[in-house]
């Protein structure tokens, strides 16, 4: 469904595991400092949503990286710790006048997708799903609209996705 018709913060809490399950789980959030006005709002949405649903604050690790491209490296390092049920990668790339936007978006999309595929292939040594909470927008206003603005908060969506993926075995 197109985002303009769907609020990113809307979800059915009844579809989530109860707080007793979530209080035992661990999550990591890798957040890009570039476009911090946007990424920190996404971080707040993700962090608050995890806590709201029962994740203990001491079970949430936040790692800052310079930009969105570095999210793949951070997510990979976090996976290697084998400590997290899911890892949320938060970034924001806004299109400019050069092809830089395309290279960054392709690189981070491929990198994070590859980490998930490797996790799936090596399921016996599960390292935690990586959740793509990266905004790729044409304008700053579009990003603001998705970082707590009129379209909700993509960070909230990332946290809900992380919770669901961390518990996918029970859903299958």
In a domain, 74, yes or no: yes
pLDDT score recorded for residue 116: 86
In a domain, 61, yes or no: yes
Query: What is the C-alpha to C-alpha distance for residues 144 and 43, in angstroms, rounded to an integer?
Result: 13
Greatest pairwise CA separation for the chain in angstroms? 49
In a domain, 67, yes or no: yes
User: 151 near 120, Cβ under 8 Å?
Assistant: no
pLDDT score recorded for residue 30: 98
pLDDT score recorded for residue 131: 97
Low-confidence ranges of the chain (pLDDT < 50): 1
In a domain, 30, yes or no: yes
User: 79 near 127, Cβ under 8 Å?
Assistant: yes
What predicted TM-score, i.e. pTM, was given to this entire model?
0.92
In a domain, 1, yes or no: no
pLDDT score recorded for residue 8: 67
pLDDT score recorded for residue 169: 78
Query: What is the C-alpha to C-alpha distance for residues 161 and 155, in angstroms, rounded to an integer?
Result: 10
In a domain, 159, yes or no: yes
Beta bridge partners of 92: 135
Catalytic residue IDs: 100
Task: Give me the number of domains the chain comprises.
Answer: 1
In a domain, 3, yes or no: no
CATH of the domain at 128: 3.40.50.960
pLDDT score recorded for residue 52: 96
pLDDT score recorded for residue 163: 96
Residue-range definition of the domain harbouring residue 34: 23-171
In a domain, 150, yes or no: yes
């Amino acid at each position: 469904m197109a985002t303009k018709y769907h609020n990113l913060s809307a979800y059915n809490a009844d579809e989530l595991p109860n707080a007793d399950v979530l209080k035992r789980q661990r999550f990591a959030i890798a957040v890009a400092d570039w476009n911090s006005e946007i990424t920190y709002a996404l971080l707040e949405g993700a962090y608050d949503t995890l806590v709201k649903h029962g994740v203990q604050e001491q079970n949430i690790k936040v790692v800052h990286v310079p930009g969105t491209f570095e999210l793949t490296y951070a997510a990979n390092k976090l996976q290697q710790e084998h400590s997290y049920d899911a890892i949320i990668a938060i970034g924001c790339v806004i299109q400019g006048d050069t092809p830089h936007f395309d290279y960054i978006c392709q690189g981070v999309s491929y990198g994070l997708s590859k980490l998930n595929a490797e996790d799936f292939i090596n399921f016996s040594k599960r390292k935690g799903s990586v959740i793509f909470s990266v905004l790729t927008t044409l304008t700053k206003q579009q990003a603001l609209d998705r970082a707590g603005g009129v379209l909700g908060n993509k960070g909230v969506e990332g946290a809900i996705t992380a919770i669901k993926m961390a518990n996918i075995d029970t859903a299958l």
